[in-house]
Amino acid sequence: RDFNERCAQCSEVNWGLTDGGRFYCRSCHNVTERTREVVNTDFITNSRVQTISKGLKKQEKTDGGCEWYICEGFQLVLKKQVEALEALGVCPQMKDEILCNFWRCYLQKSKQAYCKRPAGETVKALSVCESSTDVDSDPERPSLLHLLSLSESEGDLQTDCSFVSSVSKVSESTSVYSGSVDGSLYLMKNQKEKLRMTMPMTLSFCYLALLWVREPITLSELLRFVVEGHIPYLNVFQHFPEKMKLCGLDLKIFCVESWPVYEEVFNKMHELAAFLDLPRFPDITESCFLHPDMLCMKYLMEANLPDELHNWTCRVVKKIGIGEVDFLTLMPGNKSTRKVKYDVLAAAVIVVVLKLLFLLDDHYEWLLSEFAEERNKNNTEGGPYFEFKKWYEVVKHSLDVEQKKLDEEKAKYLWRCEKPLFYSVKNKSKVLKRRQMVVNLQNQFGKLSGSVQHAEKPNPSSFQLSWSEENTDGSCFHGHSLKGVLQEKSGLLTAMNPDYWLCTVKLCNEKLCGHLAHYREVEFPQSYHFVLGLFSFLLRIQPSYIHDEVCMIEHKLFNKKLCKKLKYNTVLRK
């Protein structure tokens, strides 16, 4: 169905499947050699279509389940995710053309499908019906117990001791199993070369596709939508068809118990792009949403800062060349270019501009604010000057309120879903009983919670903080003027602030320690910490990431001066 090649004979795109799993053109009945070796996005239970691996002739299992492979599961996950993105307004080509092709390419490269001999030479599918004792006797394979106790970042279920203990009891007679055919194989093999699929990686796929079509959605936004529940991630397996039984090791793969982290998804995305041998991505130009000029505008609005600051962000962007097409556009596999985090970069630019204009050393900005306040009191004509102090108070208040809400939500997350998860048949009844008790307790105490009902999912929105000019209480600073902090020098507007302090004089080696700098709150001014905290909240990432980008920008900006190896400690004259 999503095989889009034109027929060699009649040039139509109208394919069907033969019984043998081959494509044939419905218009002219030309049969191709291409075999369909992986089930479509729509799951077909015709097991003859699934011709991976050798000679597993088992049809439907006795419990009404059927055979399915891990990659089919991931395919379903991706499908659900991209449908959700479509519902959010993403263009449909993303699903039908881009993501689909990426996925197929991945399957091919990782030899899970679309090739002659998928790399499952000895797919010893450990299913319920088989009792294979080979697992323990093979000295090279890590034992399943060891496997289960591996702590992997994507599956945190290893701490389930009851599982481990039940395994150890039955290690001889029956084997641990998975509902899928290749669950155990999936986890056991050293997949470093082949980039094994994980749940966080599904988001990497999504983002890769979003980037290709240059949708106006940043990675931090994507992850926020995931956490807010607009994009399926947690418990997405409950949408698997009934016949795809999920148990045992499948849980380790599909059941996540932590929210994905920006860095993880970001790095995997780049690995993936290189792995798939993708060409240069479509250009990110000035009119593109992801361009720092655009993102800065958005973030300035959201941070309730004056629009006039935008001139300054553009100037910084231009000066250090981070608005160039070649800098911004993704070139997979190119190790020399720095990987760009568009959202973090834009936020960092704003921070640098604030430092340029206000210094943010816990003294100067308040001083400037006092001057502005005086001026505003005495002269109400021509619009107010921007007062840092007022801005700080207004934003801090809102930020605190939102942060408190967010913290409470985090504590109230419900991780489990209705679909029961069990590792083995032995503890199935126990699991079901527990589930029932949990539901009972939830009902009982839910009633006592008073009128507070489970809040409806908020509508997905791009802005978390919003400020309206119509508010007469002066809590919106978009229109405020920067005149109070600027001066004219030979026809150019420059900052009154003559100083600047570098976050760090020397950058770390990112490849060695993972960061450009190490942020510790106590070592920096409170105002700086506040500003980092603001963007940290908006982007839902740790302040240290923004700090890294700030360091990078500063070093680009003051490159010449740094090269001269000035003797001053950390204060430079501009």
33 binds another protein (CB under 8 A): no
Q: Report how many residues bind another protein under the rule CB under 8 A.
A: 41
Shortest Å, Cβ 445 to another protein = 4
152 binds another protein (CB under 8 A): no
404 binds another protein (CB under 8 A): no
Q: Which helix (H) or strand (E) holds 501?
A: strand 499-501
Tokens, residue 316: 């910084």
Shortest Å, Cβ 178 to another protein = 19
Q: Which helix (H) or strand (E) holds 161?
A: helix 161-169
Shortest Å, Cβ 187 to another protein = 19
Q: Which residues in 232-261 contact another protein (CB under 8 A)? A: 257-259, 261
Shortest Å, Cβ 156 to another protein = 6
Site string for another protein, 501-540 (x = CB under 8 A): -------------x--------------------------
307 binds another protein (CB under 8 A): no
Instruction: Transcribe 268-283 into DSSP letters.
Output: HHHHHHHHTT--PPPP
Determine how β-strand 486-489 pairs with β-strand 492-495: antiparallel
Helix pair 100-109, 70-87: axis angle to 10 deg: 160
406 binds another protein (CB under 8 A): no
Shortest Å, Cβ 437 to another protein = 6
463 binds another protein (CB under 8 A): no
Query: Taking contact as CB under 8 A, which single stretch among the options 33-41, 160-168, 209-217, 524-532 is the one that binds another protein?
Result: 160-168
571 binds another protein (CB under 8 A): no
Q: 97 vs 156, which CB is nearer to another protein?
A: 156
Which residues have CB under 8 Å from 199's CB, separation 6+?
A: 77, 154, 233, 253, 254, 256, 260
CA distances in angstroms from 333 to 47, 100, 244, 274, 460, listed in the order given: 38, 21, 36, 5, 34
Measured CA to CA, the distance from residue 177 to residue 542 in angstroms comes to 39
Residue with tokens 């107010």: 384
* The one among 123, 542, 556, 562 contacting another protein by CB under 8 A: 542
Shortest Å, Cβ 219 to another protein = 14
Instruction: Transcribe 10-79 into DSSP letters.
Output: T----EEE-TTSEEEETTT--EEEEE--S--SS----GGG---SS-----S-TTS-----HHHHHHHHHH
Instruction: Transcribe 275-313 into DSSP letters.
Output: HTT--PPPP--TTSTTSHHHHHHHHHHHTT--TTHHHHH
- Residue count of the chain: 574
Query: Taking contact as CB under 8 A, which single stretch among the options 26-34, 152-160, 189-197, 495-503 is the one that binds another protein?
Result: 152-160
Q: 33 vs 408, which CB is nearer to another protein?
A: 408
Query: Taking contact as CB under 8 A, which single stretch among the options 37-45, 391-399, 405-413, 562-570 is the one that binds another protein?
Result: 405-413
Query: Taking contact as CB under 8 A, which single stretch among the options 43-51, 76-84, 279-287, 435-443 is the one that binds another protein?
Result: 435-443
Shortest Å, Cβ 265 to another protein = 11
Q: 103 vs 545, which CB is nearer to another protein?
A: 545
Q: Which helix (H) or strand (E) holds 428?
A: helix 428-447
Measured CA to CA, the distance from residue 65 to residue 79 in angstroms comes to 21
Q: Which residues in 442-461 contact another protein (CB under 8 A)? A: 442, 444-450, 452
Shortest Å, Cβ 195 to another protein = 19
Tokens, residue 450: 């008073």
Site string for another protein, 323-352 (x = CB under 8 A): ------------------------------
Tokens, residue 559: 């490159």
* The one among 263, 326, 370, 469 contacting another protein by CB under 8 A: 263
Which residues have CB under 8 Å from 457's CB, separation 6+?
A: 228, 229, 230
Shortest Å, Cβ 133 to another protein = 27
Measured CA to CA, the distance from residue 485 to residue 367 in angstroms comes to 10
437 binds another protein (CB under 8 A): yes
Shortest Å, Cβ 439 to another protein = 9
149 binds another protein (CB under 8 A): no
Measured CA to CA, the distance from residue 436 to residue 85 in angstroms comes to 33
419 binds another protein (CB under 8 A): no
* The one among 440, 461, 559, 570 contacting another protein by CB under 8 A: 440
**Pair 233, 199: CB distance under 8 Å:** yes
366: three-class secondary structure by DSSP:
helix
Which of the 8 DSSP states describes residue 357? H
Shortest Å, Cβ 447 to another protein = 8
Sites of contact with another protein (CB under 8 A): 153, 156, 159-163, 257-259, 261-264, 407-408, 410-416, 431, 434-435, 437-438, 440-442, 444-450, 452, 514, 542
